[in-house]
A and B are shown apart, each in its own frame.
Chain A
Amino acid sequence: MRRREFVRTGALAGAGLFLPRRHWITGAPRAASVLVPMDDAQDEHLKAYGLAFRSLDRGDRGEWLLNYRNGSFLLPATDALQRDATLAGVSLERVDDGTVATIRGEIQASNMDAIPLEKLPKVAVYAPPDAAPWDDAVTMALNYAGIQFQRVWDPEVIAGGLEKFDWLHLHHEDFTGQYSKFVITSAGAPWLQAMMQLHQGTAARLGFANVADLKRAVAQRIAAFVERGGFLFAMCTATETLDLALASDGVDIAAAYADGTPMDPQASSKMHWEKALAFRDAQLELSPSLSSFSDIDGHQVNTTERQPLGAFSLFNFSAKIDPVATMLVQNHRQVIPDFYGLTTSFRRTRLKNDDVVLADETGAPWVKYIHGERGKGTWTFFGGHDPEDPQHAIGNAPTDLSLHPHSPGYRLILNNVLFPAAKKKELKT
């Protein structure tokens, strides 16, 4: 089913026109339920997502109550769930059928909706084999919440390995093949040398002339994954460079150290933005030593034009008409402190017209969190590297999520992981 249809049918069902007769919708009297509150009553917001995920893994079905107590979950009360919640420290509230009926009434009468959770998504994280688990906010969030995933990298993607997955995450990978443009500024650093060796060896093994070519091919396969109905979630540089790689088909945008030839000085005017997912008309950064790719990023953290961090606000959407966007912004905080990444934000002037802005900084020329469709699938881009390490720098101590169990920034990441678990409500025929 195309995402557009999903949105439409979800909205209709939410409006009460096509409620399926399922026990998790009607509240069968024999099965008691538990509510996993996601407002300030919750002790472990992040692990609550893992609890819902593992409940699906055990074959249970549940509901995501959009906008009800900041995106709570209604799950069947089982011994396994109770044990899991106790171990994880997730707060539960037992609710009887009468209470469930009251909740449904409130949902019906408000900007809320109940989205069935019934499909366990197959999750992949794109990361090199030597990546530390602490260097990627999504890997950290998945590990902390206890959500299973598989790691994939260039060989798997080139071999068509994305077919097996519903959801793919990209983090701070540089799809322009320029090693995040640290080659000149960090020349001689052992981590950089190791990174270059690994990438160059992989490109050679897979039959590509250079890393830039390999990464463009990987980007194109990722775009095809989305076209076929996949869910893509990207953060940090992966957002900007994925689009630059897609739009630069036939254009040399890589510095000489990446592909042996200098970047085409006219590259900006030769880009094919129709191939990009989210951005348009960006001016590419010409300097090979400046750790910036283009003017898509509003904050330019590694340049003299670095902009200070502010706070971003989540948008409110109509849960019944626009449940996808609503799912992605479920949170117990509406204003969240910003955080840097090699790509921190997205300039408004560089967004395509049909991009959906999920969060922005009021009055600033940039936005933080965007979403869109491509073919049968969807993509979501979130700027910045680590929501709980706003100044993130190479060598910083890893983030310990047990110290941030209520992190609203990490909640946004986990909304994305659970989003593919939400399935369209079946229509009565």
Chain B
Amino acid sequence: MSLKRAALAGLALIPGLLTAQAQPNQTNSTTTPLGRALMAERNGAYGDAATQYATILKTQPANVGALLGMEHVLPRLDRRAELVPLIEAALAADSTSIGVFGVAVRAFVVAGFPDSARKYAERWSARAPNDDEPYREWLEAATQVRDLAQARVALDLGRQRLGPGALAIERAGLLQSAGDIAGAALEWVAVVKATPPFREGAVGQLAQVTPIQRGQVRDVLQRDASPEAHQMLGLLLARWGEPAEALAMVRSALPSAPEAATTLLRALLEELRLRFDKPSRLATAATLEAIAQREAGMATAGTMMEAARAYADAGDERNARRVLALVSASPGAPAGMGTAASTTMLQVLIAEGKAAEAERALAALGNQLDPDEHDRLARRIAMAWVRGGEFSRAAELIVHDSSTEGFDLRGRLRLYRGDLAGANDLLKQAGPYDEAREQALERVTLLTLIQAIGQDSVPALGDALSALERGDSTRAIRGLATLAGTLKASGAAETRLLAARIALAIHDTAGSLALLHAADAKDAPAAAAAARLAMARISIAGGRAADARGELEQLIIDFPGSALVPEARRLRDSIRGTVPGGG
């Protein structure tokens, strides 16, 4: 709704609102005919509303409130044809009312009379020669009925009357709707040059083009040498998932004034905010650092801290350390910043695998940390010990951790030592839920494996799983395959299934298939169903849809009660092409 239309609608509502204030216990419709008509309209009694509006218009044909009411209710009553004579009567009674002109322009567009719409837009413009509203109203109405040709006429006439810079936003939008993406991009640049605060809005509009059209936008903005175009392109690239290119483009077009530069960098930060991939985190960190360089006092230290965390989250320990050093040296760092810096440094140490150093740093932080944060960091250090084969050190660190994650990790530690009974108890205590769904699924998988094996102590399983934790997948697969040969049917099948999954993760398809075939055992139905589903997925990935379909059908027929059957059916439907996203 345009401002003028909103203002007119507001005028029409005023009688009702005043009544409501004066008589709070009564409906606000009873004091004036217009108020009553409005109330009927609000209550959905369109027929009554139309009758009441018509009564008003009989004595006051140019009453804008009543005319607007008719514009709303007549279409709902399938009587839109009645609007045109009412407008003609209104214009005869008052040929100068801007409100009447507005209704007339819209109504004639909808009724398919573009010449009349034009006539009244021009009359309106003659009354307000410097106002672009008549043409905007006409253009918006034509756009609403998707008559882009008529909208174009409105635009061209408006610019002819008001100058080439008029209605620039509308022109850009119109070009984009008509598929002229390059023209739209150019026009949006012109809009931003004229009114810089429109930059984010323009970027939002251009971001809506299809992936195929993005190339056209990029070409236009790159060819345009203005900083505005490059700033827009930088923000667009961030939104389109190209964070490194986005950062480089924004850096190349940063305004020299610190405030304007910070505004642009914060806009980039906003675009990157919801992206969690490594390149986006790195771009976020660099953007924060650039913002910090343009800030002063405590704000600088705070933003630098954020940058350090972002570097650490992205796994860029070198830059995280560098920025932390800058924070430590910053004279403006507020109290408490030291703890934040130490925590971030601790995360860097963990990421670097320096468990002993990290443990010392954690001890040094002592009571300064929130207990939950302390436990979280302790678990991360414990995992670093596990990766180094130091299970006892790991266990000592988390011995008092009673959180779900603590039980989970203690259970895993038991498992790595081959203590299946102890692992079973602790993993069960951790329960089937977790904040991270993946972690919960892994836990359920481990519990299934432990229960299928059915023994209290299997050191070979601990060896294989700890090898996996250290990243030695080959040793893990070999260990699990060897172990499977010593176990009873269901334990053997689950163990082979796990080995097959690890093999698949390292792209050893042949090895994985061999293990899956071995896991497909009649007396281990749960593992067999999972093995067939995995084989079907491998067949699909290899382009053997018919094989996959056979495997899935055999799964469904042989194990109709398996929890994997719905997934198998879904996959079968994809192969048959009966649901989208086949394969």
* A290–B112 touching, CB < 8 Å: yes
Interface residues of B toward A: which range?
Answer: 20 to 34
* A86–B560 touching, CB < 8 Å: yes
A287 within 8 A of B: yes
A419 within 8 A of B: no
- Residue of B76, B78, B148, B557 with highest tally of chain A CB at under 10 A: B78
Binds A, one of B315-323, B420-428, B571-579: B571-579
State in angstroms the CA–CA spacing of A143 and B560 once bound together.
23
- Residue of B210, B577, B578 with highest tally of chain A CB at under 10 A: B578
Residues of chain B lying within 8 A (CB to CB) of residue A186? 179
The one of A134, A285, A302 in contact with B580, judged by C-beta atoms closer than 8 angstroms, is: A134
* A87–B569 touching, CB < 8 Å: yes
A304 within 8 A of B: yes
Residue of A nearest to B80 (CB): A305
Give the tally of cross-chain contacts (CB within 8 A): 83
Known: A188-B179, A189-B179. A304 touches B145 (CB 8 A): yes
Q: Mark A299-311, 1 if CB is under 8 A from B, else 0.
A: 0001111010000
Residue of B nearest to A188 (CB): B179
B371 within 8 A of A: no
* B572–A304 touching, CB < 8 Å: no
State in angstroms the CA–CA spacing of A287 and B581 once bound together.
39
- Residue of A146, A189, A304 with highest tally of chain B CB at under 10 A: A304
Residues of chain B lying within 8 A (CB to CB) of residue A397? 580
State in angstroms the CA–CA spacing of A89 and B570 once bound together.
10
Known: A289-B146, A290-B147. A303 touches B78 (CB 8 A): no
Q: Mark A182-194, 1 if CB is under 8 A from B, else 0.
A: 0011111100000
Q: Mark A320-347, 1 if CB is under 8 A from B, else 0.
A: 0000000000000000000000000001
A155 within 8 A of B: no
* A289–B150 touching, CB < 8 Å: yes
B431 within 8 A of A: no
Shortest Cβ distance from residue A367 to the other chain B in the assembled complex, whole angstroms: 14
B566 within 8 A of A: yes
A286 within 8 A of B: yes
A196 within 8 A of B: no
Residue of A nearest to B111 (CB): A287
Known: A144-B573, A303-B110, A307-B76. A290 touches B145 (CB 8 A): yes
* A185–B580 touching, CB < 8 Å: no
Task: List B105-129 residues whose CB lies under 8 Å from chain A.
Answer: 110, 112
- Residue of A83, A86, A187, A365 with highest tally of chain B CB at under 10 A: A86
Residues of chain A lying within 8 A (CB to CB) of residue B557? 83, 86-87
Shortest Cβ distance from residue A90 to the other chain B in the assembled complex, whole angstroms: 10
Shortest Cβ distance from residue B150 to the other chain A in the assembled complex, whole angstroms: 7
State in angstroms the CA–CA spacing of A400 and B571 once bound together.
12
Task: List A265-307 residues whose CB lies under 8 Å from chain B.
Answer: 285-287, 289-291, 295, 302-305, 307
Known: A89-B566, A304-B144, A304-B145. A365 touches B580 (CB 8 A): no
Task: List B402-426 residues whose CB lies under 8 Å from chain A.
Answer: none
State in angstroms the CA–CA spacing of A96 and B115 once bound together.
75
B178 within 8 A of A: yes
Residue of B nearest to A132 (CB): B580
Shortest Cβ distance from residue B178 to the other chain A in the assembled complex, whole angstroms: 7
A398 within 8 A of B: yes
The one of B147, B178, B581 in contact with A289, judged by C-beta atoms closer than 8 angstroms, is: B147
B149 within 8 A of A: yes
B75 within 8 A of A: yes
Task: List A129-144 residues whose CB lies under 8 Å from chain B.
Answer: 133-134, 143-144
Shortest Cβ distance from residue A157 to the other chain B in the assembled complex, whole angstroms: 25
Residues of chain A lying within 8 A (CB to CB) of residue B576? 143, 146
Known: A86-B556, A365-B78. A184 touches B580 (CB 8 A): no
Residue of B nearest to A133 (CB): B577
State in angstroms the CA–CA spacing of A133 and B581 once bound together.
12
Residues of chain B lying within 8 A (CB to CB) of residue A83? 557
Q: Is the contact region of chain B dominated by helix, strand, or loop, or is it mixed?
A: helix
State in angstroms the CA–CA spacing of A287 and B180 once bound together.
24
State in angstroms the CA–CA spacing of A133 and B141 once bound together.
35
B553 within 8 A of A: yes
Q: Mark B136-169, 1 if CB is under 8 A from A, else 0.
A: 0000010011111110000000000000000000
B70 within 8 A of A: no
Residues of chain A lying within 8 A (CB to CB) of residue B78? 295, 347, 365
State in angstroms the CA–CA spacing of A395 and B212 once bound together.
13
State in angstroms the CA–CA spacing of A285 and B579 once bound together.
37
* A87–B556 touching, CB < 8 Å: yes
B565 within 8 A of A: yes
A95 within 8 A of B: no
State in angstroms the CA–CA spacing of A365 and B78 once bound together.
9
The one of A87, A143, A302, A400 in contact with B572, judged by C-beta atoms closer than 8 angstroms, is: A87
- Residue of A188, A287, A291, A302 with highest tally of chain B CB at under 10 A: A287
State in angstroms the CA–CA spacing of A361 and B28 once bound together.
31
Q: Mark A158-202, 1 if CB is under 8 A from B, else 0.
A: 000000000000000000000000001111110000000000000
* B572–A185 touching, CB < 8 Å: no
State in angstroms the CA–CA spacing of A65 and B149 once bound together.
56
State in angstroms the CA–CA spacing of A185 and B150 once bound together.
10
Q: Mark B68-81, 1 if CB is under 8 A from A, else 0.
A: 00000001101010
- Residue of A185, A186, A290 with highest tally of chain B CB at under 10 A: A185
Shortest Cβ distance from residue A256 to the other chain B in the assembled complex, whole angstroms: 13
A88 within 8 A of B: yes
Residue of B nearest to A303 (CB): B145
A401 within 8 A of B: yes
* B75–A400 touching, CB < 8 Å: no
Residues of chain B lying within 8 A (CB to CB) of residue A144? 573, 578-579
The one of B141, B178, B569 in contact with A89, judged by C-beta atoms closer than 8 angstroms, is: B569
* B148–A185 touching, CB < 8 Å: yes
* B581–A400 touching, CB < 8 Å: yes
Known: A143-B577, A290-B112, A401-B579. A185 touches B147 (CB 8 A): yes
Known: A83-B557, A295-B78, A304-B110. A143 touches B148 (CB 8 A): no
Shortest Cβ distance from residue A403 to the other chain B in the assembled complex, whole angstroms: 8
A402 within 8 A of B: yes
Residues of chain A lying within 8 A (CB to CB) of residue B141? 304
Shortest Cβ distance from residue B574 to the other chain A in the assembled complex, whole angstroms: 8
Q: Mark A116-136, 1 if CB is under 8 A from B, else 0.
A: 000000000000000001100
The one of B150, B179, B553, B570 in contact with A87, judged by C-beta atoms closer than 8 angstroms, is: B553
* B573–A402 touching, CB < 8 Å: yes
Task: List A352-400 residues whose CB lies under 8 Å from chain B.
Answer: 365, 395, 397-400
Q: Mark B174-201, 1 if CB is under 8 A from A, else 0.
A: 0000111000000000000000000000
Shortest Cβ distance from residue B552 to the other chain A in the assembled complex, whole angstroms: 9
Residue of B nearest to A134 (CB): B580
State in angstroms the CA–CA spacing of A304 and B75 once bound together.
9
Residues of chain A lying within 8 A (CB to CB) of residue B144? 304
28 contacts between A and B (CB under 8 A): A86-B557, A86-B560, A87-B556, A87-B557, A87-B572, A144-B579, A146-B578, A184-B147, A185-B146, A185-B148, A186-B179, A187-B178, A187-B179, A188-B180, A189-B179, A285-B112, A287-B112, A289-B146, A289-B148, A295-B78, A304-B141, A304-B144, A304-B145, A307-B76, A347-B78, A402-B569, A402-B573, A402-B579
Q: A residues touching B (Cβ–Cβ < 8 Å)?
A: 83, 86-89, 133-134, 143-144, 146, 184-189, 285-287, 289-291, 295, 302-305, 307, 347, 365, 395, 397-402
Shortest Cβ-Cβ A-B pairs, 10 listed: A185-B146, A287-B112, A305-B75, A289-B147, A398-B580, A143-B578, A188-B179, A402-B579, A144-B578, A400-B579
Given A184-B148, A188-B178, A304-B110, 16 additional A-B pairs, CB 8 A: A86-B556, A133-B577, A143-B577, A188-B179, A188-B180, A287-B147, A289-B148, A289-B150, A290-B146, A304-B144, A305-B76, A307-B76, A347-B78, A397-B580, A402-B569, A402-B579
